[in-house]
Amino acid sequence: MKDRIISLWKSNKSFVLFLALMFVFRSAIADWNEVPTGSMLPTIVEGDRIFVNRMAYDLRVPFTHVSLVKRADPQRGDIIIFDSAAADLRLVKRVVGVPGDVVAMSDNSLIINGKPLSYIDSMSADDINITDINITDIEITEDLLGVEHQIRIQREPGELANFDAVIVPSDYYLALGDNRDNSSDSRVIGFVPRDEIVGRAKHVVVSLDYNNYYMPRSDRFFKTL
């Protein structure tokens, strides 16, 4: 039996080492993450596989959340991937509040450090007031203090569309889904601890259309987020 094991190892050690290195690479350096829900619409759609830069913020011990070297901190506007203990899931959300920020929301309009954000109708490129929109489900541009991105909201604000001013604690972040009325984010699970964040996403790798027999969406391959 021992001889057989030794023989199998000699015959397959290159493949085993390749697999081990691949797992270490995906755990500590770069990975991809499937997005099965629409909580980040319109930025990320169901079926996108996003590239996760695991070294964006920390160099970690493989297969752990233990940081060996802190490389950077998440910034407002970053799309982060984190292993949420509160949700017991890996989640993808956008950072809207960094440590020390005072953040509030009124009818889906964010106020950060006392400054109401600007919202632009992408169709007319004019400044708009969310409460003046007369259609049910819309996509608009949010200016996140210099970081512009698309969000989706409903004409009639849902139960998550408002919260009183909160101060983001040290080593925590406030993260929201871009699909504001359909996202379980910091409004549900609380602030995101810094040590739960495993990486940052800036690109889609590939995308499969769940509603069309998982056919590839070639127009989303390598799309910048």
- Note the pLDDT of residue 87: 96
Contacts 24+ apart (CB under 8 A), 104-109: 104/163, 104/164, 104/165, 104/166, 105/161, 105/162, 105/163, 105/187, 106/162, 107/131, 107/157, 107/161, 107/162, 108/153, 108/157, 108/161, 108/180, 108/181
Please say if 223 is a catalytic residue: no
In DSSP terms, which residues pair with 96 in a beta bridge? none
pLDDT of 225 > 80? The answer is yes
Catalytic residue among 11, 27, 39, 70: 39
At 186, is the pLDDT very low, low, confident or very high (cuts 50, 70, 90)? very high
At 134, is the pLDDT very low, low, confident or very high (cuts 50, 70, 90)? very low
Which tens digits make up the pLDDT trace of 9-68? 566 666 556 555 566 556 667 687 889 899 999 999 999 999 999 999 999 888 788 989
Average per-residue pLDDT in the chain? 87
Task: Compute the average pLDDT of residues 208-216.
Answer: 91
Show the tokens assigned to 222: 């390598």
For 2-220, the fitting CATH number among 3.30.1440.10, 2.10.109.10, 3.40.47.10, 3.30.70.60 is 2.10.109.10
- What's the gap between Cα 19 and its chain centre? 27
pLDDT of 119 > 90? The answer is yes
Domain residue spans in the chain? Answer: 2-220
Among residues of the chain, what percentage have pLDDT more than 90? 67
Dist CA 42 CA 21 (whole Å): 35
Please say if 109 is a catalytic residue: no
Helices (H) and strands (E) in the chain — how many of each?
A: 2, 17
Which tens digits make up the pLDDT trace of 158-183? 899 999 999 999 999 999 999 999 99
Dist CA 154 CA 158 (whole Å): 8
- Note the pLDDT of residue 123: 55
Lowest-pLDDT choice from 79-88, 99-108, 120-129, 177-186? 120-129
Catalytic residue among 84, 93, 183, 186: 93
- Note the pLDDT of residue 189: 97
- Note the pLDDT of residue 122: 61
Q: Who contacts 11 (Cβ-Cβ below 8 Å, separation ≥6)?
A: none
Position with higher pLDDT, 118 vs 64: 118
